[in-house]
Amino acid sequence: MKEDVQELWLQSAKNFQQTMVESMTKAFESFQNIDLGEASAKLMTPVVQHPKIKFSPEKLQALQHQYMREAGDLWADSVQGKLTVTDRRFADAAWAENSVANFTAAAYLLNAKTLIQLADAVETDAKTRARIRFAVEQINAATAPSNFMALNAEAQRKAIETQGKSIAQGIQNMLHDIQQGHVSMTDESVFEVGKNVATTEGAVVFENELIQLIEYKPLTEKVHEKPFLLVPPSINKFYILDLQPENSLIRYAVAQGHRTFVVSWRNPDASLAKATWDDFIENAVIKAIKVTQEITGAKSINALGFCVGGTMLGTALAVLAARGEKPVASATFLTAMLDFADTGVLDVFIDEGFVKYREQEMGKGGLMKGKDLASTFSFLRPNELVWNYVVGNYLKGESPPPFDLLYWNSDSTNLPGPFYAWYLRNTYLENNLTKPGKATVCGEKIDLSLIDIPVYIYGSREDHIVPIGGAYASTQYLSGKKRFVMGASGHIAGVINPPAKGKRSHWIREDGKLPKTVDEWLGGATEHKGSWWTDWSNWLADQAGTEIAAPKTYGKGKYKVIEPAPGRYVKAKA
């Protein structure tokens, strides 16, 4: 009997491997129609332009043989009761205790792995192969047996144990998320901006149609003579730098004796639908630099740009340099790109067709909705940021615990269409900032080599939004003295890593050499335990000048207190 069942299973596996290529092709061709949210669906529109997927016969045969061998091993382990599944989605004991569910999970993982191997074996250019792999990864993530009540042993057991209450709660959770327009990653009711996130004491001392400028209350009797301005990404809200007192980079800078100012971006609405990249550089970043100078009376300031804020800061510094102005004494770039040659997984979305589509759609006016941007970034890590919450919230009827970082992640912002279209073409598509004179911003030809000031460049090793190579590449374009530091973890966790936690590591090259690639740089780098913040703090103190008495009031002259920090702009919802 066992032999008959085994033969049936192996025949099924053989049928699967015989049709796998055809199935993958059809799945890839139809992927553009899968609803990943409005933005993701539109982003994938230009991906499918390949009428036929080809493989090397040798590679395909090797994969077929491997699949048949592993399918046979899987069956044998199942019959002998030795089947082990290590994927975290199937880690609960309910899966192992249910032989059918355990076998289903193992078979899924084998098929998913084989599909990825097939995607990697496609004979085509690297970008097309990356797009195919991305599409297959999305399909694999969406079709996991853990995502379906009929197949999820853990959810079924919980439904029985709770006498159906978990199912009822899951339905309520789903209705709630439909109403709010996104999948809940945390209990958003727990948090309030200005009450238990973004609480560092300060005041808004300037505002225009694009930004509010916040000045923070000194925590030391003396401050450095050169003030410090932070430019966060306009694609997110600034309080990622001020979540809680113990992990606030803003509060840390204030505590280190820096007179600190932060740009708080307005959440664009229809009134800003025609705002351009030039508007944001001239009337936001450059304006914030000049207002900071005027309030403090400083001839020059120190500045920091995080993520897209770093790209904007670099652009602003290049504009100022072209004008013969040097109001910024030093700059820090945190997980930021000036060179967009290595953009990681985001490159799968970008080509001429996609950028033209966005230019036609919103290049003259319109809004890139924050919820669409958030959906797109979530699907870059679908298992962790999408399906994990679908399973927990809806199938198991659980409420996600409070987590300030995920609350911030759900607090999305819009982008003006012309700003967004310019950014796509001149960075991700054409990489124009690295070509002297190619890009014109605020009437000036951009040349990054004119930025001749000390810079501190930080990149996160596992960053999937700004790959470590992309962060490092800035070292090759800026002319001043440069220091590069690499931290562990990803785009946010690597940056928000206060010293008191004693977590993670960072890498420094003591000889100061900056070879062409980050891999070469790593060859001479040394690992240091703990946060990179202390190294950066020491570097920034060297750039900040002598100490002077801390101010007793906010603002100066015409720049008076408008309202307490964190201000109105950051509280506006997309």
Catalytic residue annotation: 307
Pairing outcome for strands 301-306 and 328-334: parallel
The helix/strand/coil state of 184 is coil
Going from the C-alpha of 569 to that of each of 71, 239, 267, 370, 406, the distances in angstroms are 57, 12, 7, 15, 20
Q: Tell me the C-alpha distance between 165 and 329, whole Å.
A: 61
* Burial of residue 75 (number of CB atoms within 10 Å: 0-12, 13-18, 19+): buried
Dihedral pair phi/psi, residue 167, rounded to 5°: -70, -45
Q: Name which of 150, 157, 4 is nearest 75 in CA terms.
A: 4
Tokens 């090793």, residue located: 461
Q: How many residues does the chain have?
A: 574
Dihedral pair phi/psi, residue 483, rounded to 5°: -130, 125
Torsion of CA 293, 295, 298, 302, to 10 degrees: -60
Q: Where do the DSSP E strands lie in 150-259? A: 202-207, 211-216, 222-224, 228-231
The CA-based angle 71-75-78, given to 5 degrees, is: 140
Torsion of CA 265, 266, 271, 273, to 10 degrees: 40
